[in-house]
Amino acid sequence: METTKVVLGNVRGEVQLFSDDKKIGKMDISVIGNKLTVYHTEVDDEYAGNGFAKLLLSQLVSYARENNLKIVPLCPYVHAQFKRNPEEYNDVWLKEE
């Protein structure tokens, strides 16, 4: 069974993905003020192609919504998803000018 959780230190942290208690993926993030910046998304090779990056993204967006944060998508995967599905993410997407 897959589970996700957000783990934040002072500013830097991760959205972590577990399968049967084994960490199989993560997103590197930071939160400063009301900005949540996502830098990198990673899923173990043996789990790639199964929608796990999307699970991480879903947790990231839920966390942002629950905490009134705007997401700065520096991660290529997250940025591509935001551009591909703007109607789904417009409320949390901080579009830097």
Q: Which of 51, 96, 48, 49 is nearest to 74 (CA)?
A: 96
Q: 2-84 domain in CATH 1.10.3720.10? A: no
Element (H, E) at 22: strand 22-32
Over residues 11-38, the pLDDT tens digits come to: 689 999 988 889 999 999 999 999 999 9
What is the Cβ-side half-sphere exposure of residue 63, based on CA atoms within 13 angstroms? 25
Q: pLDDT digits over 68-97, tens only?
A: 999 999 999 999 999 999 999 999 999 875
Domain ranges of the chain: 2-84
Is the pTM here over 0.85, yes or no? yes
In angstroms, the CA 82 to CA 87 distance is 9
Here the tokens at position 55 are 């699970």
**Cβ atoms < 10 Å from Cβ of 50:** 13
